[in-house]
Structure 1
């Protein structure tokens, strides 16, 4: 059962929410953004988040940046879009610049390399957990399950580039959506 969606955030709340996502989103911000927007602040429902992400994937650039821009624009126009995307990138930019300096100085240390190797499974688990939660909100139909399976096979098993996956999956998804088996 889904909880009701809260009122739209103010511009400052939008900025601070996406600052939090950017600050804690090591290894990928999608799980953090979903948790912040759906579970904690209830700005959108699971289905609305899935819709934002779906639209965001069709534009160039990082998906979650597109989600922040689309959502920010939806609730506060250009100022909301700027607040969300600036919030999202403020801390990661500062951290990345500082990490670049640290990388050149300490990357040869085996302990540093071991720490980063230990973080990889955590990032993978976060992505898988988010995927499973998004599947819960997906409308249950044979067409949707087939589109999901086709996308997974093309991307996860055959490791095709994203543009090829979209080139195949979009027409197939439309066709599957219109297909109605005879009773």
Structure 2
């Protein structure tokens, strides 16, 4: 029940920008994960197909309560946003020609972008004492953002390198 209600509130509060709030709720408020565990689990969830926050809810639910926990966390996460999307779709369909509505949606997009930048900063902070991790992050950024290489080949190269470096540092 805690997984369901925790992710239900997360889905309701953070509609459109769940990842920044997820870190705050899961690490700082509920203390279900440490900052390092969050970064590691998020890294795995980003590599898996599907939405990062969806994968994160399923992974965390599985960790604590198995399949039932995964379902509870997932259903909690998607219940409110699904209803909100349907209601916004109906609203937008009826008011899409209104310039105020266009400005509203533009503002929402800007707020989501700001939340994404804030979350990226929080995720990078635990890595600041890990030079190998910083190198992988920088290589990924250069490859994808600057050189415009495709995500999948970049991940297929960087993931084994990252795993090797993590294994070496753990020894």
Q: Please confirm whether the aligned pair reaches a TM-score higher than 0.5, indicating the same fold.
A: yes
Normalising by structure 2, report the TM-score: 0.89
- Contact kept? 2:7, 2:74, Cα under 8 Å: yes
Moved more, 141-150 or 72-81: 141-150
Which stretch of the first structure deviates more once superposed, 49-58 or 30-39?
A: 49-58
Q: Which runs of 5+ in 1 are unaligned?
A: 1-11
Q: Measure, in 2, the Cα distance between the counterparts of 1:86 and 1:151.
A: 32
Tell me the residue number matched to 1:173.
Answer: 162
Q: Distance in 1 between matches of 2:116 and 2:155?
A: 20
How much does 1:106 deviate? 0.8
Question: Whose helix fraction is larger, Structure 1's or Structure 2's?
Answer: 2
Q: CA RMSD in A?
A: 2.0
Q: Which residue does the alignment assign to 1:16?
A: 5
Match of 1:30 in 2: 19
Range moving further from structure 2, 160-169 or 33-42: 160-169
Partner secondary structure for residue 138 of structure 1: helix
Aligned partner (choices 90, 93, 106) of residue 79 of structure 2? 90
- 1:80 paired residue number: 69
Superposed CA deviations along residues 33-84 of structure 1, whole A, max 9, x for unmatched, are: 1111011111111011111111112221111111111110110111100000
For residue 139 of structure 1, report the CA deviation from its aligned partner: 6.0
Is the deviation greater in 168-177 or in 83-92? 168-177
Question: For each residue in 1:128-172, what CA deviation from the matched residue of structure 2 results, as whole angstroms up to 9, or x when unmatched?
Answer: 111111112126233222111111122222344321331232244
Residue equivalent to 2:41: 52
Alignment size in residue pairs: 169
Indicate how the Cα distance of structure 1 residues 176 and 73 shifts in structure 2: closer, same or farther if over 3 A, else same.
closer
**Pairwise mapping of residues 22-171 of structure 1 onto structure 2 (< 5 A)?**
22-138=11-127, 140-171=129-160
Q: Aligned partners of 1:160, 1:76: CA distance in 2, in Å?
A: 39
Give the alignment's TM-score, normalised by structure 1: 0.83
- Unaligned regions of 5+ residues in structure 2, if any? none
**The 10-residue stretch of structure 1 (50-59 or 156-165) with the greater mean CA deviation from structure 2:** 156-165
